[in-house]
Amino acid sequence: MHDHAHTKDIFYGRRLRGSAALRGMVRETRLSKDTLIYPVFVQSGENIKDEIATMPGQYRYSPDRLPEFFEEALAAGVDKVIFFGLPAAKDEVGSGAWADDGIVQQAVRIAAERYPEVLRVTDVCLCEYTSHGHCGVLEGGCVHNEKTLPLLAQTAVSQARAGAQLIAPSDMMDGRVAAIRRALDKEGFSGTPVMAYSAKYSSAFYGPFREAADSAPAFGDRKTYQMDWHNAREAVRESLADLSEGADIVMVKPALAYLDVIRRVREQVDAPLCAYAVSGEYAMIKAAAQAGMMDEEALVAETTTAIFRAGADMLITYHAPLAARLITEGRIG
Ligand code: PBG
């Protein structure tokens, strides 16, 4: 086999790579299907399952077609879902976000009734519901922090009432976790945990999502509320702040270009840590695969493992069913 030099000076790294069994034994990173969360886009209407142009293989479902999504997830062994909504109508303040019969509220009720074994996570943000596409209420062309907080809290409560089991604010307003925590407690949902998008960067990798959710800002960008990607220490401050406000889980988003941030937060923050492999990460892999440039399964295996190796405890990913299958087949983890 190997003709290694018999010298003590050499590190024989290859000895433990000689077979799949050996490699499997010395793996430092273990993956589990339990830690995967699959996003779904729910659209107001009937009999809709439209493929999203910027995210091949991902669809917008009307509530009546949702079972197809759940069957796909469950068949792969994924039992955690995060909901995003496309409402029938938008307005200045995003009132569709907290409507009792809002699109996410409807979807969550269906899921609770038909797929009770699936964990229901809801994204709290106004950008999909505002006519201007920003994540909060505008005043003088700027997103007003304090005026936005009660609307986010109201949205979280209405989602919890519909049956959401984990509330995930993604808006990046200051103080939103405290506002949401207070409102949930007051309305009888003190047992419902909050997963804060704590270190959410102002990222070009959200491009495909904004097409999918019709949530691109009509003017300007999100740099006055989402984080500047030059900063990593700030992610720790944001995470600790969210924990002090009552967050149960913190998040770093996006994932692949922020592995250093995931590692840093893992080392400095003692709370469960979620990472979000966002739409642009999915789209890059899909595009490369469709162009015949790289292999989708191999890329998903490697990138998913990298995110967990960096220190994530759980992962939101559009590739959740594929990642789960790779785990089942023993190709990763
Ligand atoms: C809502 C929200 C966004 C994403 C998750 N929640 C879009 C944004 O902030 O522009 C992005 C998810 C993705 O790209 O997959 N604010």
Residues of the chain with pLDDT under 50: none
pLDDT digits (tens, 9 = 90+) for 149-207: 999 999 999 999 999 999 999 999 999 999 999 999 999 999 999 999 999 999 999 99
Domain that holds residue 219: 34-328
User: Residue 263 domain-assigned?
Assistant: yes
- Out of 159, 201, 206, 256, mutate this one to test ligand 1's pocket (max ligand atoms within 8 Å of CB): namely 206
Contact 168 CB / ligand 1 (< 6 Å) = no
pLDDT at 333: 86
| pLDDT for the residue numbered 7 | 65
Query: Does residue 59 have its Cβ closer than 6 Å to ligand 1?
Result: no
Question: 138-139 and 142-143 as β-strands: parallel, antiparallel, unpaired?
Answer: antiparallel
pLDDT given at position 2? 55
pLDDT for position 85: 97
Q: Which two tokens stand for residue 250?
A: 């913190």
- Ligand 1 atom nearest 318 alpha carbon: 15
pLDDT for residue 4: 59
pLDDT tens column, 148-165: 999 999 999 999 999 999
Residue 19 lies in a domain: no
User: How far apart (Å, rounded) are the C-alpha atoms in residues 160 and 322?
Assistant: 29
Q: Please give the tally of structural domains in the chain.
A: 1
Residue 12 CA, ligand 1 centroid: distance in Å: 45
Check if 155 has its Cβ closer than 6 Å to any atom of ligand 1.
Answer: no
| CATH assignment of the domain containing 315 | 3.20.20.70
Q: What is the pLDDT of residue 6?
A: 62
Does 13 reside within a domain?
no
Catalytic residues: 200, 253
Query: In angstroms, what is the span from residue 276 Cα to ligand 1's centroid?
Result: 10
10: in domain: no
Joined together, the tokens standing for residue 171 give: 């808006």
How high is the pLDDT of residue 45?
Answer: 96
Does a structural domain hold residue 77? yes
> How far apart are the CA of 279 and the centre of ligand 1, in A?
8
Query: b/e map of 34-51 (b: 16 or more CB within 10 Å)?
Result: ebbbbbbbbbbbeebeee
Q: Whose CA is nearest to atom 12 of ligand 1?
A: 278
Is 281 near ligand 1, meaning CB less than 6 Å away? no
Instruction: Identify the residue whose C-alpha is closest to ligand 1 atom 10.
Output: 206
Q: How far is CA 236 from CA 94, 146, 255, in A?
A: 30, 23, 15
Q: What percent of the chain has pLDDT over 70?
A: 98
pLDDT of amino acid 9:
82
Out of 127, 148, 209, give the residue to mutate to test ligand 1, the one with the largest number of ligand atoms within 8 Å of its CB.
209
Q: How far, in Å, from the CA of 278 to the mean position of ligand 1? A: 8
Site of tokens 């800002």: 217
What is the dihedral angle through the alpha carbons of 197, 38, 63, 160, rounded to the nearest 10 degrees? Answer: -40
Assess if residue 28 is contained within a domain.
no
Determine whether the shortest distance from the Cβ of 127 to ligand 1 is under 6 A: yes
- 318 CA → ligand 1 middle, Å: 13
Q: Separation of 255 CA from ligand 1 center, angstroms?
A: 13
Q: Closest ligand 1 atom, CA of 128?
A: 1
2 domain-assigned: no
Indicate whether residue 210 lines ligand 1 (CB < 6 A): yes
Task: Let me know if residue 266 belongs to a domain.
Answer: yes
Q: Which amino acid is at 10?
A: I
Query: What does pTM read for this prediction?
Result: 0.97
**Beta carbon of 130 within 6 Å of any ligand 1 atom:** no
Question: Residues, the chain, total?
Answer: 333
